[in-house]
Amino acid sequence: MFYDGLHFLKGLPSPEGVWERVQLIGEGNYGEVYKARNALTGDVAAVKVMEANLDKEEDIKAELNVFQNHSQHPNIVSFLGAFLYRDQQADDHLWIVMEYCSGGSVTDLVKNMRAKAENLPEDLISYILREVLEGLSYLHRAHVLHRDVKGQNVLLTSDARVRLIDFGISAVVENTMGRRRTGIGTPYWMAPEVIACEQQPEYDYDLRADVWSLGITAIEIADSTPPLFGEHPMRALFKIAKNKAPKVQNPNRWSKRFNGFIASCLVKDFEQRPTSFDMLTHEFVRFVPRDPRVLRRKLGTLIDMYQPGERKDGFSESSSSVSGADTIKKELKLLATSRMVDDLASLEVMDESVLVSQLWKRYQRRLIYTNVGDILISINPFQKMDIYNEKVRNSQLPVRISYHLIITFECI
Torsion over CA: 303, 307, 308, 310 (sign) = negative
Q: Amino acid identity of 134? A: E
Do 148 and 185 meet the contact criterion of CB atoms below 8 Å apart?
yes
- Name the nearest CA neighbour of 166 among 188, 139, 205: 139
Q: 123 catalytic, yes or no?
A: no
- Name the nearest CA neighbour of 121 among 262, 218, 222: 222
Q: Is 48 annotated among the ligand-binding residues? A: yes
Do 240 and 163 meet the contact criterion of CB atoms below 8 Å apart?
no
Cβ partners under 8 Å of residue 45, min gap 6:
19, 35, 36, 37, 38, 80, 97, 98, 99, 100
Do 265 and 211 meet the contact criterion of CB atoms below 8 Å apart?
yes
- Catalytically annotated residue among 59, 148, 166, 206: 148
Report, in angstroms and rounded to the nearest whole number, the Rg of the chain calculated over CA atoms.
24
| Residue 364 burial (C-beta neighbours within 10 Å; 0-12, 13-18, 19+) | exposed
The residues annotated with a catalytic role in the active site are: 148
Please report, in range form, the residues annotated as the binding site.
48
Please report, in range form, the residues annotated as the binding site for ATP.
48
